[in-house]
Amino acid sequence: MDWKYLLTSFEGRINRAKFWACIGVFFVGAIIAMIIDNLIGTTIQNLPYGYVYVLYVLAMLYPVFSVYAKRWHDRDKSGWWTLIVLVPIIGGIWLLVELGILQGTRGPNRFGPDPLA
């Protein structure tokens, strides 16, 4: 898996397996950042996260949006559909279903060749 392409490019398509692999890596990184915060005592007022976690989240914004965009492209939609998450409750569910559960477009589409081909 080409991690540089996955995390830095907004071009192309990825399948569900690569999407979930990236989400897993992001999640594990967040857990590690929280553990580091708790070990060194940099938590913010009784919250489960601190400065290390906040820096991690800020650093991961670009890679996360990159992965989301490629997955939206596999669904033959613009990466701007990521903004659906701003709609309370329904937006997060929609994002989860579209990117994590539904199959991508079979064959080539306007964003590139089928990643499973």
In a domain, 106, yes or no: no
In a domain, 89, yes or no: yes
Residues 6+ apart with CB under 8 A from 52: 33, 36, 37, 40, 42
In a domain, 114, yes or no: no
What predicted TM-score, i.e. pTM, was given to this entire model? 0.90
pLDDT tens per residue, range 65-91: 999 999 999 999 999 999 999 999 999
In a domain, 35, yes or no: yes
In a domain, 10, yes or no: yes
Taking phi over 0 as left and psi of -120 to 50 as alpha, with beta for the rest, 80 belongs to alpha
In a domain, 117, yes or no: no
Q: What is the mean pLDDT of residues 4-27?
A: 94
Q: What is the mean pLDDT of residues 40-64?
A: 87
In a domain, 51, yes or no: yes
Q: What is the mean pLDDT of residues 34-42?
A: 86
Domain of 66 in residue numbering reads as: 3-101
Phi/psi of residue 50, each to 5°? -145, -155
Element (H, E) at 38: helix 16-40
Give the burial class of 66: count Cβ atoms within 10 A of its Cβ; 0-12 exposed, 13-18 middle, 19 or more buried.
buried
Q: Residues 109, 117: contact at Cβ < 8 Å?
A: no
Q: Count up the domains in the chain and report the number.
A: 1
Q: What is the mean pLDDT of residues 47-71?
A: 92
Confidence label for 24 from pLDDT (cuts 50, 70 and 90): very high
Report DSSP state, residue 68. H
Confidence label for 54 from pLDDT (cuts 50, 70 and 90): very high
In a domain, 111, yes or no: no
Alpha carbons 59 and 104: distance in angstroms, whole number: 28
Q: What is the mean pLDDT of residues 5-27?
A: 94
